[in-house]
A and B are shown apart, each in its own frame.
Chain A
Amino acid sequence: MLDDFTTRALLAGIGLAVATGPLGSFVVWRRMAYFGDATAHAAILGVALALAFQLPLALGVLGVALAMALTVSTLAAKGWAMDTTLGVLAHSALAFGLVAISFVPGVRTDLSAYLFGDILVVSRGDLALIWGGAALVLALLVWRWQALLTATLSEELAHAAGLNPNRERLVLTVALALVVAVALKVVGALLIAAMLIIPAAAARALARTPEAMAALATGIGGLAAFLGLRLSLWQDTDAGPSIVASAAVIFALAAVAGQLRRG
């Protein structure tokens, strides 16, 4: 069954959705959209470093994404003007990554694979990596779920209940870096943040509890992967952008449905 590349692609997309559903919900609740961008864009620099030093790709991406995510969350905790700082970091991470990658011979040609993903050539090994990473992220979030929700709602309430909001923030930071490493192959660096935000935002319109929103976001992410792959095979469009476009259409429908239901 795994011999079929479309099956592997679909499984990769669903694996990603398992992680991006709940994590994306936190990104939406905490208004971390730009944070996701900065971390995801740093992935390109990770690719360049991994290629230059002949390290496993996922390792380079994970390392650089983690460094970027930690930098950003440290700056945020110190009260930097986040909007501007994140904008600077997100775009310069991408620019430096693209500059660095042009020094690596022979990569320029498949640069678009790193920018927009290459889900149709996912190997069994990639699939194991994606599902392993996604399972790790999910386990991390489930383990800290109550504390994460409380800290997201109010750091004060969390602190008064004996929790440490900084530790919960670190959990999310690590999870984000993991998701970036996992998602690079599926949707590419430019669209990782989209996969975090759009399904969660679509789920928001329909959900009444945080758990329902996270679960719905996963379902919507999986559906978007399915529809996007269909579109890609049928019209020969790029798979990554097709998946994100499908998610965006679902978002529009969910927003309308949410409005109607609320009357």
Chain B
Amino acid sequence: MPGVQGRRMTPLIAADHVCVRFGGAEVLHEVSLAVKPGEIVTILGPNGSGKSTLIRALLGLVPLAHGTVSRAEGLRLGYVPQKLAVDRSMPLTVRRFLSLPTRVSDAAAAAALARVGVEDIGQRQMAALSGGQFQRVLLARALLSEPQLLILDEPTQGLDQPGEAAFYQLIETVRHQTGAAVLMVSHDLHVVMAASDRVICLNGHVCCEGTPRVVSNAPEYRALFGLGTRGALALYQHEHDHAHDHDHGHGHDHAHPHHHEHSHAG
């Protein structure tokens, strides 16, 4: 193993120059990312920017037009999808849901529910839960597989404010206790910033990437979320008129602040 830097630790899951097309439209272009053990990585981006598609590509749920996805051998992952419609035609209690597909003991199920703050709903029907309760149950189920990697697509949708704060707290705790890495999608800038080790700003391609502090000062990020200052918007548009095909091979330097990690302090 090339022990060049600590950051070269084998990733749990990695995308390498991934492109995804739906029909003719390219939804993801040359996206590369890697999640290493114990990291909390957040993907940010506006609606339709391909966040869920990226997650689904990582899970092997959508075909890649180009590029590769690799995961560590025998990776245990817990997944909370953005949407899950439980059809009313299937009677399903929360307790029964937690045992899909791997059966878990009553004690483990109760502990998982207590951990996400919904201890009393084991006998309720999944289809009758509130949005926030449902989201917590999904997380409880993901935690039950003792994952090395938690993949969460907008996990706080439907949670109330205290619930949301507690949720990110919980993610931190889980990471701390189990060492699980977390890859999550979020819209919620400020909370996310506080809870993540690394932020990836996505808009069909990776616009910018780095620690929350670096990203929050990056003009691409500010433009994407309408926080544009100091002519950042102009810079952003200029940036996006370019084809993003210059990740490799060219020795020459670009004038664009494209590859993050250098702070735009101001």
- B-contacting residues of A (Cβ < 8 Å)? 28-29, 31, 146-147, 149-150, 152-161, 163, 204, 207-210, 212-213
Q: A28-B89, A208-B93 are in contact. List 10 more A-B contacts (CB 8 A).
A: A29-B87, A149-B100, A153-B97, A153-B100, A156-B56, A157-B81, A157-B100, A161-B79, A210-B91, A212-B91
Given that A159-B59, A160-B79 are known contacts, is A210 also in contact with B92, CB under 8 Å in the complex?
yes
CA distance A134 to B15 in the complex (A): 46
Interface centre among A28, A29, A156 (most CB of B within 10 A): A156
Inter-chain contacts of B96 with A (CB < 8 A): 209-210
**For the side of the interface on B, what is the size category?**
20 to 34
Inter-chain contact B101/A149, CB cutoff 8 Å: yes
Would you call the interface of chain B mostly helix, strand, loop, or mixed?
Answer: loop
Q: Name A156's closest neighbour in chain B (CB-CB).
A: B81
Most chain A C-beta atoms within 10 Å of own C-beta, residue among B77, B89, B123 = B89
Is B67 on the interface with A (CB-CB < 8 A)? no
| A residues less than 8 Å from B91 (CB atoms) | 204, 207-210, 212-213
Judge whether B84 is part of the interface by a CB distance below 8 angstroms.
yes
B114 beta carbon closer than 8 Å to chain A: no
- A contacts with B: majority SS: helix
Are B89 and A156 closer than 8 Å at their CB atoms? Answer: no
In the docked arrangement, what's the CA distance between A207 and B151, Å? Answer: 33
B43 vs chain A, min Cβ distance (A): 17
State the CA gap A150–B66 with chains docked (Å). Answer: 30
In the complex, B60 has a CB within 8 A of chain A: yes
The 8 A CB mask of B53-84 against A (1 = contact, 0 = none) is 00010011100000000000000010101001
Which residues, 96 to 120 on B, are CB-close (under 8 Å) to A? 96-97, 99-103
Given that A29-B87, A153-B90, A210-B92 are contacting pairs, would A146 and B81 also be in contact in the complex, using a CB cutoff of 8 Å?
A: no
Asked if A156 contacts B61 (CB within 8 A), the reply is: yes
Residue in contact with A163 in the complex, picked from B84, B97, B101, CB distance below 8 Å: B101
The reply to whether the CB of B49 lies closer than 8 angstroms to some CB of chain A is no
What residues of chain B have their CB less than 8 Å away from a CB belonging to chain A?
56, 59-61, 77, 79, 81, 84, 86-87, 89-93, 96-97, 99-103, 123, 125, 145, 151
A153 to B145, CA, bound (A): 18
Contacts of B84 in A (CB 8 A): 153-154, 156-157
In the complex formed, the residue of A with least CB distance to B153 is A156
Q: How far is the CB of A220 from chain B (nearest CB, A)?
A: 15
Of A28, A150, A155, A209, which is in contact with the most chain B CB atoms at under 10 Å from its CB?
Answer: A209
User: What is the bound-complex CA distance between A212 and B123, given in angstroms?
Assistant: 14
A–B complex contacts, Cβ < 8 Å, 27 sampled: A28-B89, A29-B89, A31-B87, A31-B89, A146-B100, A146-B101, A146-B102, A146-B103, A149-B100, A149-B101, A153-B92, A153-B97, A155-B61, A156-B56, A156-B59, A156-B84, A157-B81, A157-B100, A159-B60, A159-B61, A160-B61, A204-B91, A208-B91, A208-B93, A208-B123, A208-B125, A209-B96
* Max count, chain A CB within 10 A of own CB: residue among B91, B97, B123: B91
Write the nearest CB–CB distance from B218 to chain A, whole angstroms.
Answer: 31
Q: In the complex, what's the smallest C-beta–C-beta distance from A140 to chain B, in angstroms? A: 17
Bound Cα distance from A208 to B91, whole angstroms: 5
CB of A152 within 8 A of CB of B93, answer: no
- A150 to B86 alpha-carbon distance, docked (Å): 11
Which residues of B have CB within 8 Å of A210? 90-92, 96
Q: Are A161 and B101 in contact (CB under 8 A)?
A: yes
Q: Which residues of A contact B87 (CB under 8 A)?
A: 29, 31
A13→B151 CA distance, assembly (Å): 48
Cα of A83 to Cα of B151 in the assembled complex, Å: 34
> Taking CB as reference atom, which chain A residue is nearest B90?
A29
